[in-house]
A and B are shown apart, each in its own frame.
Chain A
Amino acid sequence: MIWIYGVLIFWAAAFALNIYLSNSPWHETRVIKLVVPAIFGITILVVWEGLVRGLEVPAVILPPPSVIWQKIRESLPVFAFDFFKFPFLNIYFAQPSILWTDFVQTFAKGALTGYIIGCGSAVITAIMIDRSPFLQRGLLPVGNFIAALPIIGTAPILVMWFGFDWHSKAAVVVVMVFFPMLVNTVQGLAATDSMQRDLMRTYAGGYWNTLMKLRLPAAMPAIFNGLKIATTLALIGAIVAEFFGSPTRGMGFRISVEVGRLGLDMVWAEITVAALAGSAFYGVVAMIEKGVTFWHPSQRG
């Protein structure tokens, strides 16, 4: 009972604090803008922990955050330093770790490879069809249509074609990111107006000069919009494709296996890693965007 009362008091206190902070004169400051959502997040974790303990929810239904954290710490790689064993690259894994192997398999091999291939080929395709208005008028509606379909359904087919290892996951990711990326890039390439293009013509800038110096830079906000959408799609594609078959590692594999064994702490640990990986991936792309499109109004404010 003490857990439940404690949770209720904590919740009320955090709630009051958040209301006070967000109506205080400093609510426009950066610190408060970070503190308020942080308090909200912490409150959810505390309420979760307290209710699970207070109501004695079995671990096969919902493990408390502390148990999940314990599992994450157990499954993290342990780095060690041994100068005599490895004189050159002397930081190494002292202990093989489940979370790390799964992360490498799903994110680095599956999602990232597919992301690079898919986005790269979509940008190149967009530049190619950009020269032909006919293809644009034909491909854009088809691309828009396909982008709205449940493309994740191609996963079983691609797993059959490319086998269980990460190649099939990368293929699913390629298919998933290609069309949103294509549509965004084509829109971006159309972002320049005729005045700007006329100016390039008065400079005797040919097609390639205009493309490299005017149209691609002007397309960057749209391209990065596509790249950001594609980060989430890439992780989803790689994880869900593993539900259709995978070698004995990978985040999606681990989730489906541990769910079957009711090892929910491991499932939550994998979900935490997936969430962190997704946010970090998005964050990195957003940071690169900030550097590339510093001139755009949305980045100046």
Chain B
Amino acid sequence: MKSIFPIVTVVIAIIVLWYGAAVGMNSKWVYDQAKRAGTQVTFSQMVAETWAQKRPVLPVPHQVVAELYKSTVLKNIASKRSLVFHGWITLSATLMGFLFGTGMGILLAVGIVHNRAMDMSVMPWAIASQTIPILAIAPMIVVVMSTMGATDFLGKETATAIFGYQPAFMQGLLPKAVIAAYLSFFPVVVGMVKGLRAPDHMQLDLLRTYNASKTRTLWSLRLPASTPYLFTSLKVGMAAALVGAIVSELSASPLRGLGARMLTGSYYGQTIQIWAALFAAATMAAILVGAIGMIQHRALKKMGMVQ
């Protein structure tokens, strides 16, 4: 509670700076327009105009919020101009990739902890992969998977047979989910290996005196002890999956999702649209990561690991 006031101050300062910067960055256009029309603009007119341009260099917060409101609440959510529609496309790819990536990551971590050959051969590569810009392969995966025809989650026929139509998010879902999974995979492996090794010798020895099997040790000691690490890697994995989904949308077809909104915005100079998509992506990240954080707090409290 003590830090609410400072945080609010900082946020207000950022917003004030933002409006100021918008005046500075957008004023050139206003003056150019006035010059062309042969009129004079006063300072207050200029300021008012910089905050209300259609394609400003830097849109001001209220324009972005207005655009967000317009494209979420006022638009039909099935419309291709609705940010809810595009957000859902991104969200579905993120979540699917996250589930697969973290699931495989946890399984591999369990394998690494139990098998020394696996540990020694895979672990150095998993750690090295953290230093590599894996995201660079996103366009290639998208294109290769569409060459192979593996883009839709359920094919058109299958989806129509089940739902009566093919839901929009299923089109082109697979490549995005694969990239999202790939990005969230390695951080989870590294984090979970650390977590599964968190129990110390005393605790492991105690289970040995109980004649506990490896499986029993995993369920009763290693997994519970790794919970804090699990949630930390889940947060990292979720953020990575979202970034993967957004970047893969730059080259995916059909051109949909928050990443696609940014790309089309930058093609047509629709700065407000880019900012709105950016804000939507940021909100989504905050909600997803925040939700994991909340579950973490609850779970750790229940397990007696935090006060």
Contact = CB atoms under 8 A, between A and B. Distances in A.
A153 interface: yes
A255 B131 contact: no
Contact of B139 (A136, A159, A255): A255
Interface string A32-58: 110011011100000000000000000
Interface residues on chain A, size class: 35 or more
Interface in A152-178: 152-157, 159-161
Interface in B97-133: 116-117, 119-125, 128, 130-133
A279 B128 contact: yes
A252 interface: yes
Overall SS of chain A's interface: helix
B285 A138 contact: no
Interface string A51-73: 00000000011100000000000
A232 interface: yes
B25 to A, nearest CB: 8
Contacts of B285: 148-150
Interface residues on chain B, size class: 35 or more
Contact of B131 (A137, A153, A278): A278
A10 interface: no
A137 B2 contact: yes
Nearest to A245: B266
A139 B140 CA distance: 39
Contact of B3 (A141, A154, A157, A264): A141
A279 B124 CA distance: 12
A91 interface: no
B147 A40 contact: no
B190 interface: no
Interface string B129-147: 0111101110110011001
B10 A153 contact: no
A41 B125 contact: yes
Contact of B266 (A41, A149, A244): A244
A156 B147 contact: no
Contacts of B3: 137-138, 141
A37 B251 contact: no
B148 interface: yes
A279 to B, nearest CB: 5
Contacts of B262: 153, 155-156, 244
Contacts of A252: 136
A22 B246 contact: no
A232 B130 contact: yes
Given A22-B121, A40-B121, A149-B286, A278 B263 contact: no
Closest 5 interchain pairs by CB? A138-B6, A40-B121, A156-B266, A138-B10, A282-B131
8 contacts: A61-B148, A138-B8, A239-B136, A243-B250, A252-B136, A271-B140, A274-B133, A275-B132
